Each structure stands twice: as structure tokens, then as C-alpha cells.
Amino acid sequence: MELTLNERQGMIVWVYSLRHLKTLKRFGLIHYVSKKMKYVVIYIDHDDVEVAEKKLNGLHFVRKVEVSYRPLINMNFSERIGHRKTRKEVEEIEEINMIEGKNELLLKDPLEVV
């Protein structure tokens, strides 16, 4: 027996009323329901996203459907990891520049200083 994982994509469905949650369960897995703001986060198979979006927009209780942008974001952070400068390294660079008499303005990036 082999386990196959389906790629899923999140959708935010803004509704007028939360009475119709049973109808939304047919489209995919309901992950979260906001009673105050009246939206539902639902996960749908990646292949069925376009068809489901059209069907959901056609329902009378649906205000708006937003597809998640997460699959479009590059989640590879290997270039960023390990390239942070410590506070000591930044201070050493500033001291060297002061000793050499350079008149450069060093802007500190708050993300780079640890």
C-alpha cells in the first residue's frame, strides 16, 4: 500500500451567513471559521481550485473568494540563513572605518544586527 499526498491550496471564502457551512464542506477541508468576520479558510486539491472558485462565486451566500498566494512564494531561505552579522562584527567594522578616517555613513539594517 502506497501513501500519496495531494497538493492542496488554501482559499478564503467570505460569506454573508455562516448557516451554509455544510455546503462548503463539499468543496474541501474546512480549516478555520471566523464567526466575527464571517470567513472560512478551506483547503482544496490544487487541481480543482479553478473549478471550485467558479462554483463558490456562484453561490448566493458567498461574498468573495480569495485564493491563497502561499504556493507562489519562494520558501527557500537558505541564502538568508548564516549570513547575519553579529553586533560585534558590525562594531568592528565601524571601529576600522573610524581608525582609517573614512567618512562613510554606515546604515544598519535591523534584520542584520543580532
Look at the alpha carbons of 80, 81, 82, 87 in this order and tell me if their dihedral is positive or negative: positive
Are 14 and 43 contacting, i.e. CB atoms less than 8 angstroms apart?
no
For the whole model, what pTM was predicted?
0.64
Look up cell 555613513; give the residue: 105
- Give the model confidence (pLDDT) of 19-64 as tens digits: 999 999 999 999 999 999 999 999 999 999 999 999 999 999 999 9
Range from 10-19, 37-46, 80-89, 97-106 carrying the lowest mean pLDDT: 97-106
